[in-house]
Amino acid sequence: MGRGSVSKPLKVALLGAGVVGSQVARIILNEPDTLEQRIGRRLELVGIGVRNLDVPREGIDPALLTTDLDGLVSRGDLDVVVELIGGIEPAHALVQTAIEHGASVVTANKALLADELGPLSRAAQEKGVDLYYEAAVAGAIPIIRPLRESLVGDEITEVMGIVNGTTNYILDKMVTDHLSFDAALAEAQALGYAEADPTADVEGHDAAAKAAILAGLAFHTEVTRDEVFCEGITGITEAEIAAADQLGCTVKLLATAKLTSDAGSVIVKVHPAMVSRKHPLAAVSGARNAIFVNSREAGELMFVGAGAGGAPTASAVMGDVVTVARNRRRGTAGHVGAAYTHRPVAPIGESTAQFYVSFEVVDRPGVLARCAAVFGSHGVSLRVVQQSYLDDESSAEEHPARLGIMTHATQEARLSQVLSELREADFVGSQVRMMRVEGF
């Protein structure tokens, strides 16, 4: 240890110098002594792979830059490859090549891991190298390490989180400022919280990738992105937001991974939910992320912090870089935590929840009873019924009313049958909407 030591530095290659990569480069280049003290060996940044050599990059020696990323990761002398280009290809091939050439890998790439975590973990394990990815879920919030290590002597039963800051910002605006989805999205885009093409965020795909990673880790199994039930926030109406508020709830996009009661399978889902203001996740506002974990021994735990942004994400990446570099120095690799159970993902119909169902009816005598009978005939019992009259010119006897019904907890399959039946009933006068409810 110490600058005077003769031990060779550890060689690091960085792939990508964008929002996150540029911050990682800054820390590695600006803090060599501190990092050396923490690792016990010096880090040497040997190359940075980018797409475009002409972009000016503050604080980075142009000689470090290359567009030959494949050549960089195949050098054969690398200790650590930090992948921060994102997307599936070429990131996937580059990470595989890095592992094949004996480098440990740190990545923040949730899209890649949601598809390939299992195979990449096995490849790393076979090569005796590390694969760390703390930044891939919830940015700066330490959640991967707590799941892989801190809670590994416990039985996790549920992981539920707000893992997408863009949608959390939009929903906040809808709830607090009574904006429509479109208006809130436009504001988020103007402020740079949402991208020009917001699909991955607002349709829940980004959250679904993170849910797949969390579910696999929490339940020691393999879950891929396409197995995750996913519903976005684009269809949420102002009426639903107002109804949630009346019920003491807010609306959040939740990513949930839950063990079924027999622990034989897992439910993994992303959807908007009415969250009771008494639930700790309800208070997590703006672009922050939060993850709530329930386990047999530890009970409820919650982790809150910045879910994205260059510097916060770089903090998580650098924690991994130091950890894998320490392992390198000692000639070892961390535990890869490969899945040892096969717990299939159960269909969403087997999921149990409370539901909020809303639709218009023609308020004739007996209609409420007929609605209630539809729920009852499928074994779904009602917890709260909201009824409000709509402005109209019709006779006093047959004016339209809006019904909002919160059920007790029930299987989603039963609720689907209720919805189908309501959609066909002649006394139902509008689109039937459903939202799941949490913590009520």
Ligand X SMILES: NC(=O)c1ccc[n+]([C@@H]2O[C@H](COP(=O)([O-])OP(=O)(O)OC[C@H]3O[C@@H](n4cnc5c(N)ncnc54)[C@H](OP(=O)(O)O)[C@@H]3O)[C@@H](O)[C@H]2O)c1
Q: What is the 3-state secondary structure (H, E, C) of 249-270?
A: EEEEEEEEEEECCCCCCEEEEE
**Residues 202, 173 contacting (CB under 8 angstroms):** no
Is residue 291 within the footprint of ligand X (CB under 6 A)?
Answer: no
Is residue 114 within the footprint of ligand X (CB under 6 A)?
Answer: no
**Contact pick of 10, 12, 41, 49 for ligand X (by CB under 6 A):** 49
Give the separation between CA 153 and CA 155, rounded to whole angstroms: 7
**Residues 139, 316 contacting (CB under 8 angstroms):** yes
In the complex, what is the shortest distance from the CB of residue 49 to ligand X, in angstroms, rounded to a whole number?
A: 5
| Closest CA relative to residue 198, chosen from 167, 176, 236, 162 | 167
Is residue 108 within the footprint of ligand X (CB under 6 A)?
Answer: yes
**Residue 18 or 400 having the CB closest to ligand X:** 18
In the complex, what is the shortest distance from the CB of residue 431 to ligand X, in angstroms, rounded to a whole number?
A: 35
Answer with the entry of ligand X, a copy of itself, none that 323 interacts with (C-beta below 5 to 8 A by kind). a copy of itself
**Residue 103 or 348 having the CB closest to a copy of itself:** 103
Is residue 11 within the footprint of ligand X (CB under 6 A)?
Answer: no
Give the separation between CA 410 and CA 412, rounded to whole angstroms: 6
| Closest CA relative to residue 73, chosen from 107, 111, 24, 39 | 107
Give the separation between CA 412 and CA 5, rounded to whole angstroms: 63
Is residue 69 within the footprint of ligand X (CB under 6 A)?
Answer: yes
Give the CA dihedral 165, 167, 168, 173, nearest 10 degrees. 130
Paired tokens of 25: 């480069």
Distances from the Cα of 331 to the Cαs of 132, 158, 255, in angstroms?
Answer: 16, 36, 37
| Segment near ligand X (CB under 6 A); pick from 82-90, 275-283, 333-341, 419-427 | 82-90
Element (H, E) at 185: helix 181-190
Is residue 98 within the footprint of ligand X (CB under 6 A)?
Answer: no
In the complex, what is the shortest distance from the CB of residue 306 to a copy of itself, in angstroms, rounded to a whole number?
A: 5
Paired tokens of 257: 């991974």
| Segment near ligand X (CB under 6 A); pick from 18-26, 125-133, 273-281, 319-327 | 18-26
At residue 141's C-alpha, the angle toward residues 135 and 144, to 5°, is 60
Is residue 93 within the footprint of ligand X (CB under 6 A)?
Answer: no
**Residue 343 half-sphere exposure toward CB, CA atoms < 13 A:** 24
* Binding map of ligand X across residues 354-373, x = CB under 6 A, - = no contact: --------------------
Name 248's Cβ contacts closer than 8 Å, sequence gap at least 6. Answer: 276, 277, 278
**Residue 86 or 337 having the CB closest to ligand X:** 86
| Closest CA relative to residue 427, chosen from 367, 347, 357, 338 | 367
**Residue 260 or 285 having the CB closest to a copy of itself:** 285
Answer with the entry of ligand X, a copy of itself, none that 152 interacts with (C-beta below 5 to 8 A by kind). a copy of itself
In the complex, what is the shortest distance from the CB of residue 421 to ligand X, in angstroms, rounded to a whole number?
A: 42
| Segment near ligand X (CB under 6 A); pick from 36-44, 106-114, 246-254, 319-327 | 106-114
Return the residues of window 167-186 that contact ligand X according to CB under 6 A: none
- Interface with a copy of itself (CB under 8 A): 23, 27, 34-35, 37-38, 134, 140-142, 145-146, 149-155, 220, 280, 283, 295-306, 311-312, 314-323, 326, 330, 332-333, 335, 340-341
Is residue 86 within the footprint of ligand X (CB under 6 A)?
Answer: yes
Region label for 308, one of left (φ > 0), alpha (ψ between -120 and 50) or beta (otherwise): beta
Closest residue to ligand X using C-beta atoms: 18
* Binding map of ligand X across residues 304-343, x = CB under 6 A, - = no contact: ----xx---x------------------------------
**Contact pick of 13, 135, 179, 275 for ligand X (by CB under 6 A):** 135
Is residue 161 within the footprint of ligand X (CB under 6 A)?
Answer: no
| Closest CA relative to residue 43, chosen from 382, 372, 322 | 322
Q: What residues are labeled active site?
A: 210
Q: Which residues make up the interface to ligand X (CB under 6 A)?
A: 16-21, 49-52, 55, 69, 84-86, 90, 108-110, 135, 139, 308-309, 313
